[in-house]
Structure 1
Amino acid sequence: MSNIEFSREIDIRQVEGKAIHVEANEAERAALATRFSLVRISKLEADLELHRSGERDAEARGTLKASFVQSCAVSAEDIPVEVEEPLFFRFVPQATHYNPDEEIELDADDCDEIEYSGTHIDLGEAVAQSLALAIDPFLTGPEAEAARKAAGIGSPEDQGPFAALKGLNVKG
């Protein structure tokens, strides 16, 4: 796993009952900021409790805490963001076969599954992926409306398929 910016591997056979704190260092936070198109990440950490959930499966539950700065989607101003979210991952062995024509049904529990190969799971990458999901790609700051007006763009409510109907005066 040479291209992973924030890797914290642990042997799946040694996870039962462990409480682990993972925290990205400055270089890892800088690399993740680049990966996720953030201005910077000041803090990225997670406290996790690990348990086996079968012979080769493991579960991790805990809390993600992060502080980062991202650009406003409209004005590009820097917006500080604080995140504190619960985490739940299920690590499962990588599927040994895959049929591209096979229909796959997923339920809500399957969405938190992370496949691994060999005997190690990567808690750092799991936390990094959770951070990516916590980032609002359409975050706007206080200067967004002024930037829209300066560019001659209306507010999001004034756009879209029903915007033209907004001004109609309907009499019943």
Structure 2
Amino acid sequence: MTPEFSRLLDVRQIEGKHVRLSPNEAERAALTERFLLVRIDELVAELDLSTSEREGGFRIEARGTLKAEIVQPCAVSAEDIPVSIDEALFFRFVPMATGYAPDEEIELTADELDEIEYEGAHIDIGEAVAQSLALAIDPFLTGPQADAARKAAGIGTPEDSGPFAALKGLKLGGD
């Protein structure tokens, strides 16, 4: 399956390149559906790319920024909330690891946690940007009508129903 915002780059031809990625209207609509948003008005990623040799292929690093203007529904009232996103980006693409069994347990160092494996001679920088957008979206975003919607539904605020709600009414002794 091809991702909604696919931008394949040949790892042998990207050293020192600067790329600007921005999905077209159809791609923004598909990403909007994928991430359960109301709409994506703007999405721009600016990235500087560098490569280095690594056993089995090239190691690619991409550094830059992600800027987006989106509208997402309030998690409580479903009202439309405009959101501006401005995130620093860093991706490291490494050749697919070989030599371990599918069920074998492997240990990752902290440096390896942000690596994206690739096969062949291409990386999909567009999908990496799309996943970064997904991580920047607040899944529990609430708007100004959230408290009224909670009250109308007969549910309290998070402070009223959280794990410390019972302690809220307790009075400390030793006046």
Structure 2 residues not aligned, in runs of 5+: none
For 1:1-172, list aligned pairs within 5 A. 2-55=1-54, 56-99=58-101, 100-107=103-110, 109-172=111-174
Which amino acid in structure 2 is aligned with residue 89 of structure 1? F
CA offset at residue 158 of structure 1? 1.0
Cα separation, partners in 2 of 1:169 and 1:67, compared to 1, 3 Å:
same
Q: How many pairs align?
A: 170
User: What do the CA deviations read for 1:60-91 (whole angstroms, capped 9, x no partner)?
Assistant: 00110111110000110000111111100000
Cα separation, partners in 2 of 1:94 and 1:103, compared to 1, 3 Å:
closer
Structure 1 residues not aligned, in runs of 5+: none
Which amino acid in structure 1 is aligned with residue 163 of structure 2? P
User: What do the CA deviations read for 1:9-55 (whole angstroms, capped 9, x no partner)?
Assistant: 11001110001111100000000111111111111111111000324
**Structure 1 range deviating more: 161-170 or 126-135:** 161-170
Please give the TM-score of this superposition, normalised by the length of structure 1. 0.93
Query: What is the rounded CA distance, in whole Å, between the counterparts of 1:92 and 1:26 in structure 2?
Result: 31
Which amino acid in structure 2 is aligned with residue 159 of structure 1? S
CA offset at residue 168 of structure 1? 1.6
Which amino acid in structure 2 is aligned with residue 44 of structure 1? L
Which amino acid in structure 1 is aligned with residue 161 of structure 2? Q
Which amino acid in structure 1 is aligned with residue 35 of structure 2? F
CA offset at residue 97 of structure 1? 4.0
Query: What is the rounded CA distance, in whole Å, between the counterparts of 1:92 and 1:53 in structure 2?
Result: 10
Give SS of 1:147's match.
helix
Which amino acid in structure 2 is aligned with residue 105 of structure 1? L
**Aligned-pair RMSD on alpha carbons?**
1.3
Query: What is the rounded CA distance, in whole Å, between the counterparts of 1:106 and 1:22 in structure 2?
Result: 30
**Structure 1 range deviating more: 57-66 or 152-161:** 152-161
